[in-house]
Amino acid sequence: MSAPKLSLEQLTKRRFKLRDVFNKVGSKVSPFYSPSLAIRSPPKPRDVSIAALLAAQAHLGHATSLWNPMNQPFIYGIRNGIHIISLDKTLVFLRRAINVIQEVARTKGIILFVGTKPGQKLSVMAAAKRCNGYFIFNRWVPGLLTNAKTVQPTLGGSLKTVDQDGKEVRAPTPSFLYPDLIVILNPLENINVCKEAQRVSVPTIGIVDTNVDPRLVTYPIPANDDSLRCSDLIVGLLSQAACEGMD
């Protein structure tokens, strides 16, 4: 059976009609990354993958001139004068850190999140809230771990303790507990945190870029510490792991 012969005008009308029909068929590509969603609903630890790390730009290191030689095992190569981090290594060390924080949370340990770079405040607060932990997002007070008895009374400033009627009462004797684990999103800007934690034997997890000595922290995670997408992803995964450990 042969196809009917149509005139040029009929073929043109038919083409436009089919175009209108097929334009309504298919799917729309929605935005893949949403900053607020990454903070509010981070992926589960079992969902972590190299694709997610790549999308978060975790593989981008610093210029080769800023390289720390102790970071050599984590470097995949060089491109356009920038060190590229091996995401295979990142995934291995990230999974190890996930197991560590899960065990700390399972034993009801105190977890402290530290992220002092601009933009890390929301993710640090959300992570601490998710697993009943604590957070610092502005500045680490020197001596907070190594000289707690002297530093702690100065942190309250001129605050007063009052009862339900508003009358001033004697403040209770302050007590101090060391955290069982500290998660540091930017170790290079918080060297004091790393050194104080080492002196009081508190383990640390930290995002280690190519310009950072991985020996600063107990459990390094080689990744891009300048990318908010990367730090949001990692701290979200760690907090989700801690939350699972509490269950």
Summarised one tens digit per residue, pLDDT across range 208-243 is 999 999 999 999 999 999 999 999 999 999 999 999
State both tokens at 131: 């697993």
Domain limits for position 126: 42-141+175-246
State both tokens at 192: 């004091």
> Does any domain span residue 152?
no
pLDDT at residue 233, rounded to an integer: 94
Q: In 86-133, at which residue ranges do the beta strands (DSSP E only) sit?
A: 111-114
State both tokens at 86: 């091996």
Count the residues in the chain.
247
pLDDT at residue 247, rounded to an integer: 79
pLDDT band at 43 (very low <50, low <70, confident <90, very high): confident
Overall average pLDDT of the 19-37 stretch: 68
The residue ranking higher by pLDDT, 121 or 41, is 121
> Does any domain span residue 21?
no
Q: What total of structural domains would you count in the chain?
A: 1
CA atoms 218, 103, 94, 33: torsion sign: negative
CA dihedral defined by 191, 135, 153, 151, rounded to 10 degrees? Answer: -10
pTM of the predicted model, to two decimals? Answer: 0.79
> Does any domain span residue 94?
yes
State both tokens at 1: 């059976």
- pLDDT at residue 199 greater than cutoff 80: yes
Cα distances from 171 to residues 161, 162, 166, in angstroms, run 6, 8, 13
For residue range 113-169, list pLDDT tens digits in order.
999 998 899 999 999 999 999 999 988 888 888 887 777 766 655 556 666 676 776
> Does any domain span residue 210?
yes
Query: Domain holding 105: CATH number?
Result: 3.40.50.10490
State how far the Cα of 242 lies from the Cα of 247, in Å rounded to an integer.
9
Q: In what order do the strands lie in the sheet with 134-136?
A: 134-136, 111-114, 181-184, 204-208, 219-222
How distant is the alpha carbon of residue 20 from its chain centre?
46
pLDDT at residue 157, rounded to an integer: 54
112 forms beta bridges with 134, 182
- pLDDT at residue 33 greater than cutoff 80: no
pLDDT at residue 20, rounded to an integer: 79
pLDDT at residue 16, rounded to an integer: 84
> Does any domain span residue 220?
yes
Overall average pLDDT of the 89-100 stretch: 96
pLDDT at residue 42, rounded to an integer: 84
> Does any domain span residue 69?
yes
> Does any domain span residue 131?
yes
> Does any domain span residue 68?
yes
**Secondary-structure breakdown of the chain: helix, strand, coil percentages, each rounded to the nearest 5:** 45, 15, 40
pLDDT band at 172 (very low <50, low <70, confident <90, very high): low
